Amino acid sequence: LKTSRLFLREILANLIVNGIIYNKNARPFVEVRCEERAEDYLFCVRDNGVGIPPEVLPEIFEFSYLLKRKHKHGGSSSEHDVYVSSGAGLPQCRKMVRRLGGEIWVKSTPGNGSTFFFTLPKNECR
């Protein structure tokens, strides 16, 4: 894999930390896997955290989602905020993954954790 070590480390660190922070289990679990495919590498980061509500899934990689959430809640923190907010990390992850020529997406069920997927091409990074 020829890519930016800094970006890859930052992407993985953010997804792993989120899997631990947004977790109510007594034993938080985060699994990282990488699969080599024909044209790219597929990374999977799976956790047993609180999950993400389906109604916000389309927006969690958007910086605008952060602004809407902050405005809606007046910038205050509530229990709902803690478990819905992605912080700036997920939009930043998407920005880095795309800069490297890949894509990022998530599958999640509230109460059953999340699995984040991202691809990185086999060719040199951009």
**What are the structural domain ranges in the chain?**
5-121
Predicted local confidence at residue 69, as pLDDT: 52
Helices 89-99 and 5-21, packing angle to 10 deg: 150
The confidence band for 124, taking pLDDT boundaries of 50, 70 and 90, is low
Please tell me the pTM assigned to this model: 0.81
Please provide residue 54's backbone torsions phi and psi, each rounded to the nearest 5 degrees: -60, -30
**Class at the top of the CATH hierarchy for domain 5-121:** alpha beta
Residue 31 has pLDDT above 80, yes or no: yes
The per-residue pLDDT for range 82-108, each reduced to its tens digit, is 444 446 789 999 999 999 999 999 999
Query: What average pLDDT is seen over the chain?
Result: 84
Predicted local confidence at residue 30, as pLDDT: 98
